Chains A and B, each alone.
Chain A
Amino acid sequence: MLALPLCACSIQHYQSTFSDAAVEVRQFNTLFAIFLIVCAVMYSLVIAFLVGGIVRRRRAGEAYVVENGKHHETNPLMRIGILVWGATVGMGLIALAIASFFADRSMARAAANEKLSITVTANQWWWDVQYNSADVSKTLRTANEIHLPVGVPVRIILLSNDVIHSFWVPSLAGKQDLIPGRENDISITPTKVGLYRGQCAEYCGTQHANMALVVQVEPYGDFLKWWQDSLKPAMKPTTLLAQAGYQYVTTRECAMCHTIAGTSAGGTVGPDLSHFASARSIAAGTLPMNEANILRWVDDPQSVKPGTKMPKVPLRPAELNAVTAYLETLK
């Protein structure tokens, strides 16, 4: 049992609840430590008494004796012991309640100062991420990857388009459900630059296991630069093959569901592909991003992620190569 937390310490906090990469997860871990200690002490005492009770044979006689119609105690220690134990447990529980209360309050306080607001809409089985801005012309829509500036409190608004999902980036914060018809939110204040993996934590259908997300925490300047670069329209294809792919993508099935900024493709059913090739993975963490996987995914998404909403489009080999070539240019 004790080996498990030790294992966690050895990995790089990529996806670990024992990390200290954000204010919220640190508060969680403090609370966890308090709970662990209090409960461990209680547990040890219980085991000790149990063992003691087994080892020491039961003395002859009862605790209570009836003599002349009256009860009297033969062993007052028993009563005192039970009272003391009850008091200990009660104090332990109160300690836990107070710790929990304060942890909750401090997380809520952190939640009041958000400087950045992101709306995450969960779909089966991908994450639609929108960065909100007071200047609405800087609103940015991406998918499956969240960039956060280090040290800045962020409020993530959680919506769902279909069923209940749950947003969980273990290294940064706890779980929060995304419930259709309801707006939830979660606050994160990352404190360490790095890459953190998250995943959907509420069974949401056949591909629930393939609904991962990645959070990249970076310095504020890098974050702003990334935001500006992502607002640029999609790159125009230069090679003939990519241009043929562009023709297909913007006029055939792809444009029915996907948006590529700066083109006629304006679909909102699937992820925004404007900077598709810059992402780390395809289909919410299902495949790592590289040319072979793009080809594999576009050719037959159903064999990679059966049941996904993206259909198998009957592409001829030339069309498949052209589309793959074009998608690779979308950096």
Chain B
Amino acid sequence: MPGKDYASTRFSGLTQITPSNVESLGLAFTFSTATTHGYEAPPLVVDGTMYLITPFPNVLYALDLTKPGAPQKWAFKPEPAAASQGVACCGTVNRGAVFSSGKIIFNTLDGQTIAVDAKSGKQVWRTQLGNIQIGETITMAPLVAGGKVLVGNSGGEMGVPGWLAALDESTGKLAWKAYHAGPDKQVLIGPRFRPFYASDRGKDLGVTTWPPNAWKIGGGNVWGWISYDPTTKTIYYGTGNPGPWNADQRPGDNKFTTGVFARDVNTGEALWFYHTTPHDIYDHDDINESIIADIPWGNGRRPVLLRPARDGFFYVIDRRNGQVLSATPYGYVNGYKGVDLKTGRMIPNPEKEPKPGRVTRNICPAAPGLKDWNPAAFSPVTGLVYIPHHNLCMDMAVSTANYISGTPYVGADVKMYGGPGGYRGVVTAWDPLARKPVWEVKEELPLWSPALATAGGLVFYGTLDGWFKALDAKSGKLLWQFKTGSGIIGQPISYRGPDGRQYIAVVAGVGGWAGGIVDGELDPRDPTAALGFANAVRDLPSKTTPGGMLYVFALPHE
């Protein structure tokens, strides 16, 4: 599964590659995915076969790792609708496939969930969940938990109401669907719902915290990561931004967008909700990963979620009830004053609030947040969370957004640039107990790549201009790097091959929101292009070109 495990640690237990031998890591084989758009998915390795799911047109490849050069076994082409490319806000990406019970399950850009037999490549079932006519797409990696395939939609910039659906794993039929705004009945809030904080308690908050009817086009999409605790059969995930970006059009807290849900995986009933940023004004989706861990607390241990969130705060949340134990900025933040741990509420900074007709300058973190969807990795060996993230600030001006279904519903002009210090990216090794960084590695470009941590003591990640790097997990020292053909925004993985060796694999293909200027050939003379990101990476087209190549590395044969 994309997070390596249900706890989303992205931690590999393999130890063959270590800081002492990583400098001799070399290329074992490559594979061209025949796409040149942003590649965000991890390769999936099951039983000697590697599965790759590409961005649009979402081709699923199976490579035979038992043969030299990993030749292709089969390719499954779902042929999604080409028009879906026009309603995908941030690249025509796909964040991964999942393996369960002999099937590879993945989503397509035009809103289908497809299960394919892992051995033969034949379709087992296909379910249409999304409707591109209203601007709805699906880019997230599904998760299979408790016999259910969990799928969420995208479209927070298109006025699409957000939901999380559960399909039966063997048939693909809908088991339950929970929306993230609207009456309690459709948010699947019932008698078991026990939010920790008072402001999250009440009847039909998904209606009363919005102007009339605004919740129907209010966003709250689940396009990021879901974690699962099998002992309590609970799933944990965050919801996306409310729509439109112009917050003046939607006074009120706007529940249940930009917050964290815990739900029962069998019925979808909500167990608790924490509203990370009520009345979000900066597009700080809360879909980032929730790393499940048990940490020492007081005299014992406490079951928590570790969340490096988009708003710039590292949250440690008790996963039994949603209580925030700590919320500490892991970079420079001026858009908020802090989190009040008594009420759980984010304290806004009124000076940095965008207002219609004027430009609010130097808001940090920028709209992609201190860290966007690209997940961090947690190493139980070092106890650190390795967070590849940005250092970006923005100018923002809002205006009245016009709702036309199938078109963007934003109402904002944004221009982003590097934050204090001038560097635009940074890898932070964060100690969740001490609540401070242990080391930081600064990068020139923003980091849109996830991290991989290994038991061998290494942290792997890639840069937007194509450098694939290995750092020492304890000190952050750069031990090895390799220049790939295109910027890296995809999840690196580590697996044990059929020959017993440890391999590190990543697909290099620049794109997504950060790399859109390259794969979309955008024009940086307009700093508001790509929702403001083009200005932050004006130099990227001179540093990398589009691609979609798999790179697999290993130590040389003994």
Q: Do any beta carbons of A and B sit within 8 angstroms of each other in the complex?
A: yes
**In contact, A182 and B357 (Cβ under 8 angstroms):** yes
A263 to chain B, nearest CB (A): 10
Q: Which of B300-308, B397-405, B465-473, B544-552 contacts A (4 or more CB under 8 A)?
A: B397-405
> A136-B210, A161-B400, A231-B212 are known contacts. Are A181 and B251 too (CB-CB below 8 A)?
no
- Report B132 CB to chain A, min CB distance, Å: 16
Interface residues of A in 224-263 (CB under 8 A from B): 231, 233, 255-257, 259, 261-262
What count of chain A residues pass the 8 Å CB interface test? 29
> A269, B402: Cβ atoms under 8 Å?
yes
Q: In chain A, what residue has the closest Cβ to B250?
A: A136
Query: Could you give, for residues 184-226 of chain B, a 1 whenever the CB lies within 8 Å of some chain A CB and a 0 otherwise?
Result: 0000000000000000000000011111110001000000000
Contact of A139 with B211 in the complex, beta carbons under 8 Å: yes
Instruction: State which residues 219-255 of B face A: CB under 8 Å.
Output: 249, 251-252
Q: Which residue of B has the minimal Cβ distance to A267? A: B402
Query: Across the interface, which residues of B come within 8 angstroms of A259, CB to CB?
Result: 403
Partner pick for A266 among B211, B356, B403, CB 8 A cutoff: B403
Q: Which of B211, B357, B403 contacts A159 (CB 8 A)?
A: B357
Q: Are B402 and A268 in contact (CB under 8 A)?
A: yes
Closest-by-CB residue of A relative to B403 is A266
Of all chain A residues, the one with the shortest Cβ separation from B358 is A181
* B217 neighbours in A (Cβ, 8 Å): 266
- Measured CB to CB, the nearest residue on chain B to A179 is B357
Answer whether A261 and B212 are a contact pair too, CB < 8 Å, given A137-B252, A180-B357, A181-B358: yes
| Distance in Å: Cβ of A232 to nearest Cβ of chain B | 10
A137, B358: Cβ atoms closer than 8 Å: no
* A139-B355 Cα distance, complex, nearest whole Å: 19
Residue of A nearest to B279 (CB): A136
Contacts of B159 in A (CB 8 A): 266
A137 touches B404 (CB 8 A): no
B400 partner residues in chain A, CB cutoff 8 A: 121, 161, 268
CB distance from B136 to the nearest CB of A (A): 14
- Which residue of the partner chain, among B209, B357, B401, B403, contacts A136 with CB atoms under 8 Å? B209
From 354 to 369 in chain B, residues with beta carbon under 8 angstroms from any chain A beta carbon are 355-358
Task: Please tell me if the beta carbons of B404 and A267 are within 8 angstroms of each other in the complex.
Answer: yes
Are B403 and A181 within 8 A (Cβ)?
no
Would you call B357 and A256 a contact (CB within 8 A)? no
Tell whether, in the assembled complex, residue A137 and residue B207 are in contact, meaning their CB atoms are under 8 Å apart: yes
Report the minimum CB–CB distance from B160 to chain A (whole Å). 13
B155 nearest CB across to chain A (Å): 15
Q: Could you mark each residue 214-226 of chain A with 1 if its beta carbon is under 8 Å from any beta carbon of chain B, else 0?
A: 0000000000000
A266–B404 touching, CB < 8 Å: yes
The answer to whether B402 touches A257, judged by C-beta atoms less than 8 angstroms apart, is yes
Interface of B is mostly: loop
A267 to B402, CA, bound (A): 5
| Closest A residue by C-beta to B215 | A137
Among A136, A140, A159, A267, the residue within 8 A (CB) of B251 is A136
Q: Which of A141, A262, A264, A267 has the most CB of B within 10 A?
A: A264
CB within 8 Å of A: which B338-361 residues:
355-358
Chain B 399-425 interface 0/1 with A at a Cβ cutoff of 8 Å (1 = within)? 111111100000000000000000000
B405 CB → nearest A CB, Å:
7
Taking a contact as CB atoms under 8 Å apart, the answer to whether A137 and B211 are in contact is: yes
A149 CB, nearest partner CB in chain B, Å: 21
- Measured between beta carbons, the chain B residues less than 8 angstroms from A181 are 357-358
Distance, CA A233 to CA B212, complexed state (A): 9
Within the complex, the shortest CB–CB distance from A274 to chain B, in Å, comes to 10
* A266-B404, A268-B403 known; A139 vs B251 contact (CB < 8 Å): yes
Q: How far is it, in angstroms, between the C-alpha of A231 and the C-alpha of B358 when the chains are bound?
A: 30
> Residue A132 at the B interface, CB < 8 A?
yes
B251, A132: Cβ atoms under 8 Å?
A: yes
In the bound complex, residues from chain A placing their C-beta under 8 Å from that of B209 are: 136-137
A67 within 8 A of B: no
Query: How long is the Cα–Cα vector from A161 to B399 in the complex, in angstroms?
Result: 8
Contact assessment for B252 and A267 in the assembled complex, using a CB-CB cutoff below 8 Å: no
A313 to chain B, nearest CB (A): 16
Q: A23-75: which residues lie under 8 A (CB-CB) from chain B?
A: none
Contact with B along A132-174 (1 / 0, CB 8 A): 1001111111000000000000000001110000000000000
Nearest Cβ on chain B to A36's Cβ, whole angstroms:
39
A residues in contact with B212, CB < 8 Å: 137-140, 231, 261
Residue of B nearest to A138 (CB): B212
Contact with B along A79-123 (1 / 0, CB 8 A): 000000000000000000000000000000000000000000100
Contact, CB under 8 Å: A159 / B356: yes
Report chain B residues within 8 Å CB of A140.
212
| A137 contact set on B, CB distance < 8 A | 207-212, 252
**In the docked arrangement, what's the CA distance between A138 and B217, Å?**
17
Cβ distance B402 to chain A, nearest Cβ, rounded Å: 5
Question: Which of chain B's residues has its CB closest to A261's CB?
Answer: B213
Q: Tell me the complex Cα distance, A138–B210, Å.
A: 9
CB distance from B152 to the nearest CB of A (A): 23
**How far is the CB of A159 from the nearest CB of chain B, in Å?**
7
| A266 proximity list for chain B (CB < 8 A) | 159, 217, 403-405
Known: A137-B209, A182-B358, A268-B401. 5 other contacts (CB 8 A): A139-B211, A159-B357, A181-B358, A267-B404, A268-B249
Q: Which 10 A-B pairs have the closest CB atoms?
A: A266-B403, A136-B252, A181-B357, A139-B211, A136-B251, A137-B208, A268-B402, A181-B358, A268-B400, A269-B402
The interface of chain A, by Cβ under 8 A from chain B, is 121, 132, 135-141, 159-161, 180-183, 231, 233, 255-257, 259, 261-262, 264, 266-269
Q: List 9 A-B contacts (CB under 8 A).
A: A136-B210, A137-B212, A139-B211, A140-B212, A255-B404, A257-B402, A261-B212, A261-B213, A267-B402
